């Protein structure tokens, strides 16, 4: 048996900011992962999945990173209950490809299917059904973790519950997740019965959101360029998996999405000048008026409903070589959301992607992001200092009302504001330090926010 092959690679999150050069190993099998861990020397280490966290959470300078995407084996499945046991490198698209034809779907999905189940638990991801189903970790019953000591342990709600709690949403800083058991949910087919509702401002969004509480999945696109009486206009989408016999078939849009996924690559459009306020305003105007006023009912394939941006490979490159930053926050007060939209609208730094949703009442604790309130996700091209200054200003609004920003998408939050946003951080760190006293697992985000060391 040979030794681990370490190679220098430049790694980045989905936002392509920042980027780090680090020593990496890419094990094919579990035994190779364990050997790489033992052969890392005294260096700190961090697992890296498919790189869909946006900022510096998946990155580690002056350490070793173990790439886990090839550790993607399905280990067991119970068709009676839907429980799947799989390695941490299994992706949501792997699960969908295998189990959707059998009538099962992942319990929670974010805006892309290209995330590993390990990453899903480390970020405790949420989806369009958060208001009813909570987060990914709410559907996981057992996790296998490689500790800094080299010991492998299982944790769940009864066995090592504090490790299970800290690992769920723990950003990979408690150990390397080897496998987990997650419950898939039965669905009738691959179709979604969906309604779109055009809303003319933020007040209408909140009215429609309240009316839609019983829909299993809700989310809204918002035109963040607007101000005044049209601020917050957008398209509200609500729906869920279709009933037996209701099939979307193959629409022109589905065929176009399939063509784009095969043939269109965002790297062809890489430019620091492409996404600016003028182009975003033009896109928003066309997109808003594309949807007729009132309630429109359609039956859609699951892909454009759950993963619309997956239709274009490497769409993150369209933000140019400087990359982009996603700012996703949740605030318990609606007026804070209005204040943030006003600042963004006046800044001239328009967001191409702007998604708004109201979370449910579930609280998850630790470093998990969702809490009751309204969440807004905004993508900004990396304008440098002016953008960072505006985001610092938004942080102060979020802190003042008891909100927080999503660490899995962060690249610049200050340690001071992090500690105000996540009041359980000391409790979380105490658990992490107990299970990793030698500080083996580290990340750039963990160092920046004082979660390690």
Chain segment 400-414, per-residue pLDDT in tens: 999 999 999 999 999
Cis before 375? omega within 30: no
Tell whether the model's pLDDT for residue 264 goes beyond 70. no
| Separation between Cα atoms, residue 33 and residue 450, nearest integer Å | 27
| Separation between Cα atoms, residue 59 and residue 78, nearest integer Å | 35
Chain segment 409-435, per-residue pLDDT in tens: 999 999 999 999 999 999 999 999 999
| Separation between Cα atoms, residue 3 and residue 1, nearest integer Å | 7
* Sheet arrangement for strand 74-77: 74-77, 83-87, 176-183, 140-146, 152-155
| Separation between Cα atoms, residue 235 and residue 417, nearest integer Å | 32
Question: Out of 179-193, 303-317, 363-377, which region has the weakest mean confidence (pLDDT)?
Answer: 303-317
Under DSSP, the state recorded for 247 is: -
End-to-end CA separation in angstroms for the chain: 34
Question: Out of 260-264, 334-338, 362-366, 428-432, which region has the weakest mean confidence (pLDDT)?
Answer: 260-264
Q: For residues 52-72, give the mean pLDDT.
A: 97
| Separation between Cα atoms, residue 208 and residue 236, nearest integer Å | 8
Same CATH topology for 74-187 and 191-411?
Answer: no
Tell whether the model's pLDDT for residue 276 goes beyond 80. no
Tokens standing for 226? 């607007």
- Check whether domain 191-411 has CATH 3.30.70.2520, yes or no: yes
Under DSSP, the state recorded for 35 is: H
Q: What angle do CA 384, 388, 392 make, to 5 degrees?
A: 175
Under DSSP, the state recorded for 313 is: B
Helices (H), 177-295: 202-211, 252-263, 277-290
Q: For residues 374-382, give the mean pLDDT.
A: 95
Q: Which helix (H) or strand (E) holds 122?
A: helix 117-122
Tokens standing for 215? 């829909």
- Per-residue DSSP letters for 206-258? HHHHHHTTTSSEEEEEE-TT--GGGTT-EEEEEEEEPPTT------HHHHHHH
11, 68 contact by CB (below 8 A): no
Strand partners, 10: 21
For β-strands 354-358 and 374-381, DSSP reports them as antiparallel
| Separation between Cα atoms, residue 258 and residue 105, nearest integer Å | 20
Domain 74-187, CATH: 3.30.465.10
Strand partners, 356: 220, 376
Q: Mean pLDDT for the chain?
A: 93
Picking from 52, 93, 94, the residue whose alpha carbon sits closest to that of residue 73 is 94
Chain segment 340-370, per-residue pLDDT in tens: 999 998 998 878 889 999 999 988 899 999 9
Q: Where are the domains of the chain?
A: 74-187, 191-411
| Separation between Cα atoms, residue 123 and residue 58, nearest integer Å | 10
- Residue 372: C-alpha distances to residues 2, 404, 419, 442 (Å): 51, 11, 19, 30
| Separation between Cα atoms, residue 173 and residue 437, nearest integer Å | 12
Within 10 Å of residue 339's Cβ, how many Cβ atoms? 16
Q: For residues 99-108, give the mean pLDDT.
A: 98
**What pLDDT is attached to residue 246?**
85
How would residue 227 be classed by pLDDT, with cut points 50, 70 and 90? confident
**What pLDDT is attached to residue 281?**
83
Tell whether the model's pLDDT for residue 262 goes beyond 80. no
67, 51 contact by CB (below 8 A): no
Within 10 Å of residue 348's Cβ, how many Cβ atoms? 12
**What pLDDT is attached to residue 256?**
52
How distant is the alpha carbon of residue 445 from its chain centre? 16
**What pLDDT is attached to residue 267?**
72
């Amino acid at each position: 048996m040979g030794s681990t092959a370490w190679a220098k690679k430049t790694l980045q999150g989905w936002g392509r900011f920042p980027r780090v050069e680090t020593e990496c190993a890419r094990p094919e099998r579990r035994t190779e992962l364990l050997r790489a861990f033992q052969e890392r020397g005294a260096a700190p280490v961090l697992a890296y999945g498919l790189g869909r966290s946006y900022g510096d959470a998946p990155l580690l300078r002056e350490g070793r990173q173990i790439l886990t995407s090839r550790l993607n084996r399905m280990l067991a499945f119970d068709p009676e209950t839907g429980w799947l046991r799989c390695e941490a490198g299994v992706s949501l698209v792997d699960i969908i490809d295998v189990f959707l034809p059998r009538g099962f779907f992942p319990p929670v999905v974010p805006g892309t299917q290209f995330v590993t189940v390990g990453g899903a638990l480390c970020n405790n991801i949420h989806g369009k059904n958060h208001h009813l189903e909570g987060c990914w970790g709410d559907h996981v019953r057992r996790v296998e973790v490689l500790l800094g000591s080299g010991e492998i342990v299982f944790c769940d709600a009864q066995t090592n519950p504090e490790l299970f709690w800290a690992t769920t949403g723990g950003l990979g800083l408690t150990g390397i997740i080897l496998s987990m058991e997650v419950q898939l949910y039965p669905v009738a087919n691959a179709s979604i019965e969906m309604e779109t509702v055009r809303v003319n401002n933020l007040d209408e969004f909140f009215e429609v959101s309240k009316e839609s509480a019983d829909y299993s999945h809700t989310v809204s696109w918002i035109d963040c360029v607007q101000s005044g009486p049209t601020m917050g206009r957008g398209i509200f989408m609500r729906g869920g998996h279709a009933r037996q016999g209701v099939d979307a078939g193959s629409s022109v849009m589905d065929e176009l999405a399939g063509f784009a996924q095969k043939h269109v690559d965002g790297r062809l459009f890489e430019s620091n000048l492409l996404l600016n306020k003028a182009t975003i305003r033009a896109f928003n105007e066309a997109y808003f008026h594309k949807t007729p006023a009132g309630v429109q009912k359609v039956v859609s394939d699951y892909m454009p409903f759950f993963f619309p941006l997956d239709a274009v490979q490497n769409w993150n490159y369209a933000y140019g070589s400087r990359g982009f930053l996603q700012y996703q926050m949740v605030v318990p007060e609606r007026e804070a959301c209005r204040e943030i939209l006003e600042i963004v609208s006046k800044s001239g730094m328009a967001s191409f992607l702007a998604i708004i949703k109201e979370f449910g009442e579930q609280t998850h604790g630790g470093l998990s992001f969702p809490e009751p309130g309204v969440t807004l996700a905004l993508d900004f091209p990396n304008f440098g200092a002016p953008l960072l200054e505006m985001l610092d200003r938004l942080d102060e609004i979020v802190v003042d009302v008891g909100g927080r920003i999503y660490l899995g998408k962060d690249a610049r939050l200050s340690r001071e504001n992090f500690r105000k946003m996540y009041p359980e951080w000391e409790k979380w760190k105490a658990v992490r330090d107990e299970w990793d006293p030698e500080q083996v697992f580290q990340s750039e985000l963990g160092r920046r926010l004082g979660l390690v060391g």
